[in-house]
Amino acid sequence: MSKKVYVGLSGGVDSSVTAAVLKEQGYDVTGVYMKNWSQDIPGFECPWKEDYKDAKRVAVQLDIPFKMYDFENEYRQKVVDYMISEYKSGRTPNPDIMCNQEIKFKLFLETALADGADKIATGHYARVDNGRLFIAKYKEKDQTYFLYRVSEEALKRTIMPIGDFNSKDEVRSIASEFGLVTADKKDSQGICFVGKVGIKEFLQQYVKTIPGKVIDSYGKVVGQHEGAIFYTIGQRHGLDIGGGMPFYVIGKNMDKNEVYVTTNIDDSELWRSELKLTDFHWINNKPKVNKLSIRTRYRSVLTECSIEDEDKTLLVKLSNEVRAVTPGQSAVFYSDQECLGGGIIV
């Protein structure tokens, strides 16, 4: 076997083990670090330099060629600008999903193929089989939710060996066996491209906000927020409201700069029995049956549903009510272990 595989080395343990395993299996492996973001945020240093060094160290340890692709301009246009625009509109986007669609499984794939690769590989917790996408064996880490917008053509050119591992401990154990410097490196937290910085701190660098009223379900002003852009449906923490019962965000008005809350966990504004999706994408073909399962946010439980076409939207009827369905977030469809696609919640 001499197929050339370009592995996206992020500087983390999952992609490091991906490269090690594929080389052991006989592939001609090249490691590639994608430089997507390098800008520091006040109080937070972008970790790209350290991640780059770790990725390069792994390549040296495995004795494989190493490259860096600079995608920073494209990333800013396709992912960051999209994210900021969505937040300004009052929606809650998912930059990881857009990154997978536009950068990792489009730009990286195209660049690698033009550079001589036959396939690419990533450290995602998911399984790929002939252009179809399946839930990882280690379900607690499954990342198919973030991959639902990847095309069938891209998946046919992609290998994801981490999806066959049974636990994170198993991945780290393999990394230790190979003596990789990333074996004990902690998983990254925060926004996918900025490191430990939170979304609020990041947005404050690009969006001017002013305080506004927090209003309860009876129309009473119960507090003040720092900017409606920072709040999302179902949110409980980050509300500076004193008193006994916890408050939950049930809506917001960007024009009035108001955030609406309730103390009633059973409030009808918090629960949905149906939802509409736009900009939907099927990985393969649209399923012939309309009885599917759906996940309305990462790690939420799968809920049975049916789908109906409605002009340019998809109407989804849920078998059970789902809490905190958030405009701008993605809802992803499954059939048993297979991820079929999904769309953006209206």
- Residue given tokens 């990342």 in the structure block: 143
Q: How far is CA 52 from CA 9, 59, 180, 218, in A?
A: 8, 11, 15, 53
**pLDDT > 90 fraction of the chain, expressed in percent and rounded:** 86
204-237: buried (b, 16+ CB within 10 Å) or exposed (e) per residue?
beeeeeeebbbbbbeeeebbebbbbbbbbbbbee
Tokens of 84: 């900021």
The domains spanning 4-177 and 271-345 adopt the same CATH topology: no
Task: Kindly report, residue by residue over 65-94, the tens digit of the pLDDT.
Answer: 999 999 999 999 999 999 999 999 999 999
User: Superfamily for 271-345?
Assistant: Translation factors (2.40.30.10)
What pLDDT is recorded for position 2?
A: 59
Tokens of 308: 């109906």
The answer on pLDDT for 276 being more than 60 is yes
- Name the catalytic one among 46, 99, 305, 339: 99
The answer on pLDDT for 191 being more than 80 is no
| Residue spans per domain, the chain | 4-177, 208-262, 271-345
- Name the catalytic one among 46, 192, 305, 339: 192
In angstroms, rounded to a whole number, what is the distance separating the alpha carbons of residues 18 and 46? 24
Task: Kindly report, residue by residue over 112-155, the tens digit of the pLDDT.
Answer: 999 999 999 999 999 999 999 999 999 999 999 999 999 999 99
Return the DSSP state at 203. Answer: H
Please provide the DSSP assignment of 267-306 as one string: -GGGEEEEEEEEEEEESSSPPS--EEEEESSTTPPPEEEE
> Is 99 an annotated catalytic residue?
yes
For the domain with range 4-177, which CATH number is right: 3.40.50.1100, 3.40.50.620, 3.40.50.1220, 3.30.300.180?
3.40.50.620
**Greatest Cα pair distance in the chain:** 69
In this prediction the pTM is: 0.94
The mean pLDDT of 237-245, rounded to a whole number, is 78
Question: Which parts of the chain fold into alpha helices (H)?
Answer: 13-24, 48-62, 72-75, 81-88, 95-99, 108-114, 152-156, 168-177, 199-203
> Is 192 an annotated catalytic residue?
yes
**How many other CB atoms sit within 10 Å of the CB of residue 122?**
24
In angstroms, rounded to a whole number, what is the distance separating the alpha carbons of residues 34 and 105? 12
User: Superfamily for 208-262?
Assistant: Adenine nucleotide alpha hydrolases-like domains (2.30.30.280)
Task: Kindly report, residue by residue over 21-36, the tens digit of the pLDDT.
Answer: 999 999 999 999 999 9
